[in-house]
Structure 1
């Protein structure tokens, strides 16, 4: 984008602080072009190739919530991102481009953002998109205390001009202090605050119905959603984006998405052609995908972290010494080999290698595998022979089994409690568990993967389901947000990571590769890490 129109220097500073090195070029039609298709194809389909439906399998037991600020499960947002738009969005190289905003300005101190919005944009119900919808979206997110609200903690209150509608197509956001990752949070993504919702539809349908069958401005509209059975998306004929040749997007007539929680079933459906696309490849089946005729593996760096989550409100996990003993009893490399077939990077900290501006190979070794030291710490904590459960669903069962094997070897009495996907998330979010394997997904900035997890549970830590309360971590998270100089922010983030490693809110395990797959007949799909956007996709033959 050319945006900001006036103060490009400050925007570049903000992007630099967030580790994003450039702004994407403004494409008059709306950015459908320029991303590269990620599958070797270029250009657009011929007239005869447009249309048709994509059949997609989602590696989960169900798709429950599609209302953006209330989504805490990454796979749900991979669907919702095809239904909604943000003020800005990400390209394949994680540079920023405009989405509903055509350009923007940023004040010298990085606290005020003024967005010039596209005109003529429609919601799926036919209502017009205006600056009032931006204000409504943000106000709703904050007033209803949705998980995404914590991302806007430093936004001034609406009564204090936090969001100012200048006219129908100009909106101003005012923060109380500089906000380094602000533009990242205004993209489409899970738990992000400016994925624009439709006030008219929410008021007519009611909030609960909207969570299942929402209305957005994206390339596809939800025409059917049976929780546990699937989601039907149909092309939105009034979608605002075009390709580089001025052709209307999306190319597809629609997408039929079916949850498939069994790994073998998902991969066999892809190999046989029963589905055209798998949003995730079960890692034990990656080799089968590699060897299958007519199937292509899609691989991108993982912008995530996973750890062994220990509920600190249950014994013995309230003890930092016990948690460290458990962390040192886990052989991360053996765990990755057993649970993920080597398709992950073992690590003892949460900052991933894809965010290379802040990544380090030489992280503190406190959580490094050392079974003798682990036994000593566990004994000192009085946690020898502790009995507990690992909560899991079908999709994570292999990891739970690999973890149980290691911890039983370390002298614990560990059992697995397998539940459905919906029950898993309900129990995890309400603290009804002992331990589980979980983490952060789809986060191109470290703030996204740390803020909601490690702020105090009653002060921004809406995903702090391990119940970790630590003032230093809380303060460092706030400090890194205001650092507009990338080197300064890097130092704060690394100090924060050092502290988290020592305090062990999670026993950090690895960063999982982002692996999807498609039939060779599927063209035009751009594999942005974590995202599954189909607006430029078509199916040959």
Structure 2
């Protein structure tokens, strides 16, 4: 039976109601949602500015730089360290870098501000009743999508129904919502919508913000029906500060400022400041840094870890660094031999020296991993973890021999951007007597084959999940949307469900530790590293606030 929350009294209906949820309550919500690490690393505005007439919001442009008087206009040239940006339709995004773009195109119902208060985004106010089970949102009037269609409560219902019915990666966040057609989402009128949960769901406000893995980033029903799902996937229509002007997948993505965007800064100036953002996918690590140094781009969404020292030494480049909320591991396809054998997988884990791998692949700019729960999630992090995957090469070779996998031949699937890491891994395998080659493909081919389990092994993982739930449920539930190693364990399925009901953080941590222990022992991945989130900008880029794995440009301007 799922454990019942013991601390629901912390979250009274009055405390959760709008138009502002105070810092103390929001901090408690973040902890209950497993997002407590954000309280320590949120040093800027993690949501879009939302001051409009009658919003009750108070302020909007909560950045560390003042509003520019004469610096409006211009186009930001941004480099994205990837071969292509394939998906921008929020609930279908499984790659963190894609959502970094999409967050500039869309809005959520509410947003988390830099002062750790929950405030309205597309909702201007809301009321919580029925002991935390019912959320009634009053929506902004006069907001339009980029195609001119008016935003209404029906778009909220459509978004949530689509997220759940299509079984998208974001759907699990709404697992306790009553069925949409049975009162889960009720459109009261054009600007009022009610969400009804089966059980008290205080963290719902956090899950309804705009961000990676959130459940209600609002999409445009009319645009999807007119364009079709495939076209919407790469050129979506949202309500955000920027609209898609042109998207040549793998070549260029042009975002133009949306002139009718509803938000202004604290002085009433229309946002965004920029005329647009021109994003170029750049798959080669050295090319990213060279483009920054030469001024060919103003901003890089990621700095390849092997190139961090070059950025630090460059006079005209500023490094941006925030705590990493991620894990990377060696994914092993259990549909292929020898990876169906747990003994073989454990043998492979034990011939990998994580510290040497991090030094070679990332020049030491990462933390060797012992499990999937990262250090930035301090409330559930443990230094002392089981040693089932600990480096012990002779024991590893013995396990491989017992599993009939000594001298096994297989390939590491990779892209150009991850080639150095793949070579570092192959070097370790070769030393252990394994016959391993590297298969390099384009980014689009990589994600297609990975999702279809058309690979032997690859280096992948969770790249931006401050909540352990998202990086565990999605990867290790039997029906998880990113379970691309074919992992099956009924205990883990149940424990993942149990931890969602445990609003008491200590109880939830105990369950998460059980899950992590089982995963380390079962070795669906060999856990390799945790990496900080590192981006970079030219000094002319002003007004950017660095939130881990978010790249919001609504308050950015160019001081040239």
Shorter-chain TM-score: what band? over 0.9
Could you tell me how far apart the structure 1 residues matched to 2:341 and 2:129 are?
46
Could you tell me how far apart the structure 2 residues matched to 1:500 and 1:306 are?
14
Say if 2:205 is the partner of 1:192: no
Which range moved further: 531-540 or 442-451?
Answer: 442-451
Distance 1:345 1:105, change over 3 A: farther
Could you tell me how far apart the structure 2 residues matched to 1:270 and 1:514 are?
17
Secondary structure at the counterpart of residue 49 of structure 1: coil
Which range moved further: 387-396 or 81-90?
Answer: 81-90
Aligned to 2:429: 407
Secondary structure at the counterpart of residue 147 of structure 1: coil
Aligned ranges for residues 485-496 of structure 1 at < 5 Å? 485-496=504-515
Assess if the C-alpha contact under 8 Å between 2:29 and 2:206 holds in 1. Answer: no
Q: How far 1:69 sits from its partner (Å)? A: 1.1
Could you tell me how far apart the structure 2 residues matched to 1:190 and 1:345 are?
23
Assess if the C-alpha contact under 8 Å between 1:480 and 1:492 holds in 2. Answer: yes
Could you tell me how far apart the structure 2 residues matched to 1:294 and 1:398 are?
26
Could you tell me how far apart the structure 2 residues matched to 1:353 and 1:94 are?
21
Q: How far 1:415 sits from its partner (Å)? A: 0.7
Could you tell me how far apart the structure 2 residues matched to 1:242 and 1:310 are?
48
Aligned to 2:148: 126
Aligned to 1:518: 537
> Unmatched 5+ residue regions in structure 1?
none
Say if 2:356 is the partner of 1:334: yes
Aligned to 1:416: 438
Aligned to 1:16: 31
Aligned to 1:164: 186
Aligned to 2:7: none
Say if 2:403 is the partner of 1:381: yes
Aligned to 2:278: 256
Please report the TM-score for the alignment, with normalisation by the length of structure 2: 0.90
| Match of residue 45, structure 1, among 51, 68, 76 | 68
Could you tell me how far apart the structure 1 residues matched to 2:196 and 2:25 are?
15
Superposition RMSD in Å: 2.4
Aligned to 1:116: 138
> Unmatched 5+ residue regions in structure 2?
1-13
Q: How far 1:410 sits from its partner (Å)? A: 1.5
Q: How far 1:477 sits from its partner (Å)? A: 0.6
Say if 2:302 is the partner of 1:289: no
Could you tell me how far apart the structure 2 residues matched to 1:435 and 1:234 are?
40
Say if 2:550 is the partner of 1:531: yes
Q: How far 1:182 sits from its partner (Å)? A: 3.3
Could you tell me how far apart the structure 2 residues matched to 1:399 and 1:74 are?
19
| Match of residue 4, structure 1, among 13, 17, 34 | 17
Q: How far 1:153 sits from its partner (Å)? A: 2.9
Aligned to 1:357: 379
Aligned to 2:288: 266
Could you tell me how far apart the structure 2 residues matched to 1:328 and 1:106 are?
51
Could you tell me how far apart the structure 2 residues matched to 1:93 and 1:332 are?
38
Distance 1:367 1:515, change over 3 A: same
Say if 2:234 is the partner of 1:230: no
Assess if the C-alpha contact under 8 Å between 2:410 and 2:437 holds in 1. Answer: yes
Aligned ranges for residues 363-374 of structure 1 at < 5 Å? 363-374=385-396
Secondary structure at the counterpart of residue 141 of structure 2: coil
Assess if the C-alpha contact under 8 Å between 2:63 and 2:555 holds in 1. Answer: no
Q: How far 1:507 sits from its partner (Å)? A: 0.8
Which range moved further: 155-164 or 131-140?
Answer: 155-164
Could you tell me how far apart the structure 2 residues matched to 1:91 and 1:499 are?
36
Could you tell me how far apart the structure 1 residues matched to 2:198 and 2:498 are?
13
Q: How far 1:178 sits from its partner (Å)? A: 4.4
Q: How far 1:109 sits from its partner (Å)? A: 5.1
Could you tell me how far apart the structure 1 residues matched to 2:160 and 2:191 are?
16
Assess if the C-alpha contact under 8 Å between 1:114 and 1:171 holds in 2. Answer: yes
Secondary structure at the counterpart of residue 170 of structure 2: helix
Q: How far 1:519 sits from its partner (Å)? A: 0.3
Secondary structure at the counterpart of residue 367 of structure 2: strand
Aligned to 1:309: 331
Q: How far 1:122 sits from its partner (Å)? A: 1.4
Secondary structure at the counterpart of residue 308 of structure 2: helix
Distance 1:43 1:33, change over 3 A: farther
Assess if the C-alpha contact under 8 Å between 2:34 and 2:468 holds in 1. Answer: no
Distance 1:96 1:491, change over 3 A: farther
Could you tell me how far apart the structure 2 residues matched to 1:188 and 1:259 are?
24
Could you tell me how far apart the structure 2 residues matched to 1:308 and 1:90 are?
34
Assess if the C-alpha contact under 8 Å between 2:412 and 2:458 holds in 1. Answer: yes
Assess if the C-alpha contact under 8 Å between 2:90 and 2:102 holds in 1. Answer: yes
Aligned to 1:467: 486
Say if 2:242 is the partner of 1:220: yes
Could you tell me how far apart the structure 2 residues matched to 1:416 and 1:315 are?
17
Could you tell me how far apart the structure 1 residues matched to 2:216 and 2:411 are?
38
Assess if the C-alpha contact under 8 Å between 2:50 and 2:263 holds in 1. Answer: no
Secondary structure at the counterpart of residue 193 of structure 2: strand
Could you tell me how far apart the structure 1 residues matched to 2:161 and 2:105 are?
20
Q: How far 1:12 sits from its partner (Å)? A: 6.3
Q: How far 1:169 sits from its partner (Å)? A: 2.5
Assess if the C-alpha contact under 8 Å between 1:123 and 1:216 holds in 2. Answer: yes
Which range moved further: 295-304 or 99-108?
Answer: 99-108
Say if 2:453 is the partner of 1:431: yes
Q: How far 1:106 sits from its partner (Å)? A: 4.1
Assess if the C-alpha contact under 8 Å between 1:20 and 1:94 holds in 2. Answer: no
Aligned residues: 533
Say if 2:155 is the partner of 1:136: no
| Match of residue 86, structure 2, among 49, 60, 64 | 64
Assess if the C-alpha contact under 8 Å between 2:388 and 2:521 holds in 1. Answer: yes
Aligned to 2:9: none
Q: How far 1:538 sits from its partner (Å)? A: 0.3
Please report the TM-score for the alignment, with normalisation by the length of structure 1: 0.93
Could you tell me how far apart the structure 2 residues matched to 1:234 and 1:205 are?
19
Could you tell me how far apart the structure 2 residues matched to 1:484 and 1:105 are?
21
